[in-house]
Amino acid sequence: MAKDAVRVLVTGAAGQIGYALVPMIARGLMLGPDQPVILHMLDIEPAAEALNGVKMELIDAAFPLLRGVVATTDAIEACKDVNIAVMVGGFPRKEGMERKDMMKKNVSIYKAQASALEQHAAPNCKVLVVANPANTNALILKEFAPSIPEKNVTCLTRLDHNRALGQISEKLFVHVGDVKNAIIWGNHSSTQYPDVNHATVSTCNGEKPVRELIADDNWINTEFITTVQQRGAAIIKARKLSSALSAASSACDHIRDWVLGTPKGAWVSMGVYSDGSYGIQPGIIYSFPVTCEKGEWSIVQGLKIDEFSRGKMDATAKELMEEKALAYSCLN
């Protein structure tokens, strides 16, 4: 039996990440090789012509799984009956711009899009916020779409998670597919805490702890952490553009694992609404290690947290509380 098509919204679809993401979705990289999709693409009025060009290219690529394309600048039309929403559109911080000014712009964007999703998306729509400040944009969306279950609003820290796996694999000269269970704690910002204390590598002698194999605590606690934290800035410096290909690929990974489930014995990092786990205050969207099954994520419980990790986890939570206060001051 052919499956019913799933409607997937991508906002900011004419931008760099959107342009990398929509063909991945149309190829089945997000929802699987047998899942037909209808793409809903939203962008702002000045990008309308470029958005139409993306639609033309999607038609030209003749993707077998792509059952339809909606390209629009109208949020209501874009959100109609969508099952999955990937929120890539946002207001980027420009040179010389105060953080509060950027926050004000994004608060108004996410407040408006929350209401369009709440009123027009399919029931049980899953939302992934990619645009920065991702955790706080997701929190605003959750606050202004109260009928969307809080477990259905997440933000992207899978890019940071994948960056951590990549750095470990490069350091140890092992295949990245053999590395698992790194963790990104906290904010998708330079205060995030990439944690290898529970990560392992599959070797011919079974699974070995990453910390033991690297055998260099100084590298793990300094250079590794800062490399992952500042990887986005390093890519901007190299490309003169922000990460697009890797962000799009990670967004596919995030949704795929959420919908289809994480592999047995492995977890991934997702920005989710805190329930107080690991002493992180509720009321913020914070990146935790999670497993997914049957379309639901659960925070991995019972991991041992050392003193070094505790300090890093609390520092990034503090930044999120400050961001939340700033966002709320913009609302008022």
209 and 272 housed in the same domain: yes
Residue 103 domain-assigned?
yes
Residue 177 domain-assigned?
yes
93 and 137 housed in the same domain: yes
Using alpha carbons only, what angle is made at residue 83 by residues 81 and 182, rounded to the nearest 5 degrees?
160
DSSP letter for each residue of 35-49: --EEEEEE--GGGHH
Pair 264, 270: CB distance under 8 Å? no
Pair 35, 28: CB distance under 8 Å? yes
Point out the residues that are catalytic. 188
Sign of dihedral through CA atoms 144, 145, 147, 153? Answer: negative
Query: Could you give phi then psi for residue 288, rounded to 5 degrees?
Result: -125, 165
Torsion of CA 127, 132, 135, 140, to 10 degrees: -70
- By DSSP bridging, strand 84-87 and strand 6-11 are parallel
254 and 171 housed in the same domain: yes
133 and 46 housed in the same domain: yes
149 and 169 housed in the same domain: no
Residue 207 domain-assigned?
yes
Write down the pLDDT at residue 266. 98
276 and 220 housed in the same domain: yes
Quote the DSSP letter at residue 230: T
134 and 171 housed in the same domain: no
151 and 215 housed in the same domain: no
Q: Which of 97, 121, 155 is the last residue of a domain?
A: 155
168 and 96 housed in the same domain: no
Give residue 311's domain range: 157-327
Q: Which of 99, 122, 155 is the last residue of a domain?
A: 155
| Each residue's pLDDT expressed in tens, for the chain with a length of 332 residues | 689 999 999 999 999 999 999 999 999 999 999 999 999 999 999 999 999 999 999 999 999 999 999 999 999 999 999 999 999 999 987 778 787 888 999 999 999 999 999 999 999 999 999 999 999 999 999 999 999 999 999 999 999 999 999 999 999 999 999 999 999 999 999 999 999 999 999 999 999 999 999 999 999 999 999 999 999 999 999 999 999 999 999 999 999 999 999 999 999 999 999 999 999 999 999 999 999 999 999 999 999 999 999 999 999 999 999 999 999 999 87
Q: Which of 155, 182, 205 is the last residue of a domain?
A: 155
What CATH number does the domain containing 301 carry? 3.90.110.10
Pair 43, 50: CB distance under 8 Å? yes
Supply the pTM of this predicted model: 0.97
144 and 282 housed in the same domain: no
| Known binding residues | 12-18, 43, 93, 99, 106, 130-132, 163
143 and 22 housed in the same domain: yes
Number of domains in the chain: 2
Residue 332 domain-assigned?
no
28 and 129 housed in the same domain: yes
